[in-house]
């Protein structure tokens, strides 16, 4: 004979199992996505580190070019002063040479400072990317664990609900309990 109560309980139990599988599947997908995002952040961090090294190398090259330019300016000044018959060893001409050298070296120091600031910003970005990757990995692990726990909870509550409905539909709760003699 066909028992509707058993059919309903079975369908409810099957739905519970599918629900638990769905929760677990979603959690695993979230964990996988978090791992992929973490890998992308690690790659970004590597790129930022490379950019930091490049900033220092470009800064060093710019400093060298600036020093050559400074030397060229000073040599040009000396030639102009010598052509005009000026003694470059003392007086205001010497002060002019010192000022030219100081201003040129300030330009070099500015280039160095700028390259170091750029490198620092890139290193800071690399650190932030690694930190984000670490949090994504942790979140992925937590999502996987949470999915497993949620699946288990779904199975428990769904199973209890299916049993309760079965018992209610079959009148199982309507029967008096046997007393011990």
* 22 within domain boundaries: yes
- Whole-number Cα distances in Å, 153 to 16, 19, 135, 146, 156: 10, 11, 26, 10, 5
pLDDT at 85: 79
114: containing domain:
4-170
Task: Please tell me the distance from the alpha carbon of residue 156 to that of residue 150, in angstroms, as a whole number.
Answer: 10
* 181 within domain boundaries: no
* 176 within domain boundaries: no
* 118 within domain boundaries: yes
pLDDT at 40: 97
Tens-place pLDDT, residues 62-105: 999 999 999 999 888 888 877 887 776 666 777 787 888 899 99
* Closest listed residue to residue 52, CA positions, set 132, 133, 129, 126: 126
* 21 within domain boundaries: yes
pLDDT at 35: 93
User: Is residue 148 over pLDDT 80?
Assistant: yes
**pLDDT confidence bin for 179, thresholds 50/70/90:** low
pTM above threshold 0.85: no
Q: How many domains does the chain have?
A: 1
Tens-place pLDDT, residues 38-66: 999 999 999 999 999 999 999 999 999 99
pLDDT at 155: 84
* 123 within domain boundaries: yes
**pLDDT confidence bin for 112, thresholds 50/70/90:** very high
* 180 within domain boundaries: no
Give me the percent of the chain exceeding a pLDDT of 90. Answer: 44
pLDDT at 63: 97
**pLDDT confidence bin for 1, thresholds 50/70/90:** low
Helix (H, G, I), strand (E, B) or coil at 148: helix
Task: Please tell me the distance from the alpha carbon of residue 65 to that of residue 104, in angstroms, as a whole number.
Answer: 11
* 20 within domain boundaries: yes
* Closest listed residue to residue 78, CA positions, set 96, 65, 64, 91: 96
């Amino acid at each position: 004979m066909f028992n509707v109560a058993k059919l309903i309980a079975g369908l409810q139990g099957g739905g519970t199992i599918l629900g638990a599988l769905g929760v677990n599947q979603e959690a695993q997908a979230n964990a996988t996505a978090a791992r992929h995002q973490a890998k992308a952040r690690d790659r970004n961090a590597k790129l930022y580190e490379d950019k930091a090294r490049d900033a220092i190398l470009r800064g060093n090259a710019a400093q060298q070019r600036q020093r050559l330019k400074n030397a060229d300016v000073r040599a040009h000044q000396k030639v102009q002063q010598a052509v005009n018959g000026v003694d470059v060893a003392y007086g205001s001409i010497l002060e002019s040479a010192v000022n030219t050298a100081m201003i040129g070296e300030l330009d070099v120091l500015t280039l160095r400072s700028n390259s170091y600031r750029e490198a620092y910003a890139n290193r800071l970005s690399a650190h932030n990317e690694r930190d984000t990757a670490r949090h994504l990995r942790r979140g992925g692990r937590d999502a996987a664990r949470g999915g497993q726990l949620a699946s288990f909870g779904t199975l428990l509550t769904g199973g209890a609900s299916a049993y309760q409905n079965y018992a209610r539909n079959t009148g199982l709760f309507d029967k008096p309990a046997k007393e011990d003699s």
